[in-house]
Each structure stands twice: as C-alpha cells, then as structure tokens.
Amino acid sequence: MILSGLLFTFAIATQGFKLVNQQHNYEIQKVQVTRLIDRLENDAWNYQIIKATEQVLTIKNLKTDKTYHLGLWGHCLCLYRQDGKFLSYMLQVKKVNFKQLRPHLYDMTLQFTNGAIFKEEIYINGQKT
C-alpha cells in the first residue's frame, strides 16, 4: 500500500514537472519568436521581399545587394544566403508558413516540434536608406 502510494505520488510529481517544463519551453520559444520579429522589422528598411511562398521568403538586402532565403532547413528556421552561408534563428521548428496580407505585410506561422504554434505579422518596408 505504501509502495503504491509512493508510485502514485511520483507519477503526479513527474506529470507536474512535465507541465512546468513545457511551459518553460513555450516561454523560451515566445522570446525567440519576439526577437526574430523585432530583428526582421528593425532591419526592414533595408529589405525587399523578392518572392514569398508558403515555406520561404526570398529577401533582398538593398544595402548589401545580397539575397537571402528565410525558411526551414531540417527543423531549423534559418536565414541563408545563396553562397551557402546561413544564420540559424530557431531550432525545433516543425513547420513554417508565410502569407502576404498586404504589400509589405506578411503573416508568419511557426509550429514547433513540441506543438507550440506562433502566428505573427511582419512588416517589411523595402525602402532604400
């Protein structure tokens, strides 16, 4: 009886730990998504969207005249150049979806491997500075 009570208590504690861990991971992902959106929008004056598909945004940096692709590479959301160099923004991304809402305004949906889903709007102006 005591053993079954201990096992039951352990099972409840383990489940509680899993919920706390999931919430912690969600909060970390929320911060990462916010930072990504902030970075894209802060640099947006130098960016111009060349092409937008559901999985990839093709972006041209008007200042450096380089073209980038923002999309998935495995389970990694990356910004990669045509010369092969890339920046890893987020890991454990299962699916990404881009949709143009209006000129310069895009909807980005990120689904993570743990089931968390974030839907954000990105404003990319594309004016030369």
For 61-91, write each residue's pLDDT tens digit. 888 888 888 888 888 888 888 777 777 778 8
Domain boundaries, the chain: 2-123
- What confidence score (pLDDT) does residue 128 get? 45
Rounded mean pLDDT of the chain? 80
What contacts 27, CB < 8 A, 6 or more positions away?
Answer: none
For 87-100, write each residue's pLDDT tens digit. 777 888 999 999 98
Rounded-to-integer distance, Cα 8 and Cα 10, Å: 5
> What's the pTM value of the predicted model, to 2 decimals?
0.70
